[in-house]
Structure formats: structure tokens, C-alpha cells
């Protein structure tokens, strides 16, 4: 059985931290979409935005694993890990859609696909 680690914080503290990290990940996603769909300097705008996304994603996953660590119920831990896997898959699709748009900005529906992937 896998053992989750936690830093000794209360459930409420970890939950609040995870909520904050989710908001930050959502904002970082919006920043990437905004940068990728900008009319000019797209590549220069996407680089820092994607860096922020990467850090926000990592922080969110770390927060989710910490949440699993403070949770005693193994079913809840499984649900948390399943949710984190889902976030991982969605994030991967989002980054692939961003890359596709940057490679071929004139591709049909490229901006729509990016916007859809960001949801």
C-alpha cells in the first residue's frame, strides 16, 4: 500500500491551500490561452505563461497529494488520486493544443480547440 506524506498541517489548512492552488492553475491556464491567441509576439508571450502554468500545475499536484496524505479513508485517497490523474490528462491535452496552435496558427479550429482544451 502506498503511503502519502503530509507536512503536519490540518485538513482545513491543506484544503484551503489546495483551493488556492486550483485558482492559480485556472489563472495560469487563462494566461496561456490569452498569450497563445494574441495577435503579435505570440511565441514570446507563451513562454513565460507556460512556465507559470508548469509551476501552478506542479503546485496543484503537490497540494492534491498532500490532501490525500491528510485523508484517512483509502477510498477518498483513491478518488483524489483519480482526480489528479484526470487533471494530468487534461493538462497534457491543453499543452498539446497550445503547441498545435503555435506550430500552425492558421489551422482550422486551432483557437477553438485550445479554448475547449482549457475548460
Give long-range contacts, CB 8 A cutoff, 24+ apart: 3-11: 4/65, 4/66, 4/68, 4/69, 4/71, 4/77, 5/65, 5/66, 5/69, 6/66, 6/69, 6/70, 7/66, 9/66, 9/70, 10/70, 11/70, 11/71
The residue range of the domain holding 82 is 11-117
Question: Does 89 map to a domain?
Answer: yes
Question: Does 40 map to a domain?
Answer: yes
pTM over 0.85: yes
Q: Could you give the percent of the chain with pLDDT greater than 70?
A: 97
Question: Does 32 map to a domain?
Answer: yes
The CATH number for 77's domain is: 1.20.120
Question: Does 36 map to a domain?
Answer: yes
Inter-CA distances, 6 with 22, 71, 80, 81, Å: 18, 10, 14, 15
pLDDT, tens digit, 9 for 90 and up, residues 24-76:
999 999 999 999 988 787 888 999 999 999 999 999 999 999 999 999 899 99
Number of helices (H), then strands (E), belonging to the chain: the values are 4, 0
Question: Does 4 map to a domain?
Answer: no
Question: Does 56 map to a domain?
Answer: yes
Domain count, the chain: 1
pLDDT, tens digit, 9 for 90 and up, residues 28-38:
999 999 999 88
pLDDT at 40: 80
Question: Does 102 map to a domain?
Answer: yes
pLDDT at 70: 94
pLDDT at 1: 52
Question: Does 1 map to a domain?
Answer: no
Amino acid at each position: 500500500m502506498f503511503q502519502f506524506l503530509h507536512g503536519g498541517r490540518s485538513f482545513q489548512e491543506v484544503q484551503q491551500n489546495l483551493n488556492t492552488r486550483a485558482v492559480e492553475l485556472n489563472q495560469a491556464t487563462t494566461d496561456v490561452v490569452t498569450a497563445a491567441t494574441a495577435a503579435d509576439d505570440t511565441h514570446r508571450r507563451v513562454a513565460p505563461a507556460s512556465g507559470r502554468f508548469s509551476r501552478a500545475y506542479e503546485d496543484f499536484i503537490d497540494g492534491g497529494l498532500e490532501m490525500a496524505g491528510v485523508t484517512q479513508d483509502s477510498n477518498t485517497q483513491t478518488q483524489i488520486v483519480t482526480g489528479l490523474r484526470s487533471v494530468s490528462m487534461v493538462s497534457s491535452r491543453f499543452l498539446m493544443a497550445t503547441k498545435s496552435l503555435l506550430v500552425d496558427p492558421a489551422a482550422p479550429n486551432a483557437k477553438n480547440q485550445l479554448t475547449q482544451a482549457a475548460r
